[in-house]
């Protein structure tokens, strides 16, 4: 018996050596060949595995190409339409938030199929897209003083665009903002305020100042110019009774625009919930570092009257300086660090045209 086992073991070893030899001989014939049994098996296993899927939403201007600098990420909460284009995963990994947000584009799937991942983008219309269309067409780039200008005369002369603005406001009047999440509600009210302000200027153009649109220079702010939940309402109600009371923040003052040179800029796109926090801080920085916001003088700081009228919203005297310092560029920051105080205020009510 021991001898028989030895012969059997030797036979098995011989068979293994022969098999190994066959493999060594035949393997080169399959190298790089798609018909290779091993390649086929691996491909079949990969096909059975699910791709890695990540769901995001991005916002990009219809005039922009989809690039890292043109995208911002937000959770995708609604189904999207049919595919529009493809975006590489490397772009998705580098997404940054744009300074100004326009139409909504949703990225549905970021699939990584073993190194050959793609993303499909689909259109998801923003409720504020119509207003963005108006702003992007009629708001200029900032001038040398950092001020954007609105072409009221151009909008008044374009019946289709004026109708688009009027219809946008009507659409907002049909929304119950009480049902919106916080950032969507803030964007809603800020856009409503700005759209109605543009509307009232265009309806009364030419005019040198918004303050002329009311008795004794009182402006249009108390007038019932639109409805909220079916009730007549005013610009003052939106700014003071809703935004400042229900959503207290100094950044409200950089979001609503009163069609005046002294006001923070009217942006060239509507406010969107997804980018609200970042864009409003950028708007604050743009205003504070412009002559309309803060000027350094030999006596101290001359600042916008907004910081006087609503000083409590900025935390009083000390809170105001901290707020300005937070967004200040080096020269202004250094002046504050060296003890500069607010010594004067000013505001220009000229139309921002």
Task: State the pTM of this model.
Answer: 0.69
Place of tokens 């992007």: 136
Is a pLDDT exceeding 60 seen at residue 285? Answer: yes
Q: Determine the Cα–Cα distance for residues 144 and 136; give it in Å rounded to an integer.
A: 19
**28-85: pLDDT as tens digits:** 444 445 566 655 666 666 555 444 333 334 433 333 334 344 344 444 333 333 333 3
**139-174: pLDDT as tens digits:** 999 999 999 999 999 999 999 999 999 999 999 999
pLDDT mean across residues, the chain: 78
Q: Determine the Cα–Cα distance for residues 73 and 76; give it in Å rounded to an integer.
A: 9
Question: What percent of the chain stands above pLDDT 90?
Answer: 65
Question: What percent of the chain stands above pLDDT 70?
Answer: 65
Considering only CA atoms, which of 113, 135, 108, 83 is closest in space to residue 272?
135
Residue 313 · residue 253 · CB < 8 Å: yes
């Amino acid at each position: 018996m021991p001898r028989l086992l030895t012969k059997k073991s030797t036979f098995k070893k011989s068979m293994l050596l022969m098999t190994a030899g066959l493999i060594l001989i035949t393997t080169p014939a399959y190298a790089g060949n798609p018909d290779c049994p091993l390649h086929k098996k691996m491909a079949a296993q990969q096909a059975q595995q699910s791709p890695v899927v990540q769901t995001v939403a991005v916002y990009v201007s219809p005039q922009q190409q989809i690039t890292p600098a043109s995208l911002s990420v937000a959770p995708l909460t609604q189904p999207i339409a049919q595919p529009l284009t493809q975006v590489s995963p490397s772009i998705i990994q580098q997404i940054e938030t744009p300074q100004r947000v326009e139409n909504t584009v949703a990225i549905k799937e970021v699939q990584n199929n073993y190194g050959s991942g793609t993303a499909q983008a689909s259109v998801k219309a923003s409720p504020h897209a119509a207003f963005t269309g108006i702003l992007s067409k009629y708001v200029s780039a900032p001038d040398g003083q950092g001020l954007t200008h609105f072409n009221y005369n151009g909008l008044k002369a374009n019946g289709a665009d004026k109708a688009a603005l009027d219809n946008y406001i009507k659409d907002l009047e049909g929304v119950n903002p009480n049902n919106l999440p916080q950032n969507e509600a803030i964007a809603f009210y800020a856009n409503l305020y700005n759209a109605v302000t543009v509307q009232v200027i265009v309806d009364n153009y030419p005019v040198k100042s918004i303050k002329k649109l009311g008795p004794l220079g009182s402006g249009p702010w108390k007038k019932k110019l639109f409805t909220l939940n079916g009730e007549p309402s005013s610009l003052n109600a939106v700014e003071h009774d809703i935004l400042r009371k229900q959503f207290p923040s100094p950044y409200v003052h950089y979001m609503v625009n009163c069609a005046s040179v002294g006001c923070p800029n009217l942006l060239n796109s509507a406010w969107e919930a997804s980018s609200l926090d970042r864009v409003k801080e950028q708007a604050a920085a743009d205003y504070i570092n412009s002559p309309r916001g803060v000027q350094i003088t030999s006596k101290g700081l001359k600042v916008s009257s907004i910081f006087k009228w609503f000083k409590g919203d900025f935390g009083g005297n000390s809170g105001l300086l901290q707020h300005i310092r937070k967004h200040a560029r080096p020269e202004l920051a250094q002046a504050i660090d060296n003890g500069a105080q607010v010594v004067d205020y000013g505001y220009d009510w000229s139309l921002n045209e």
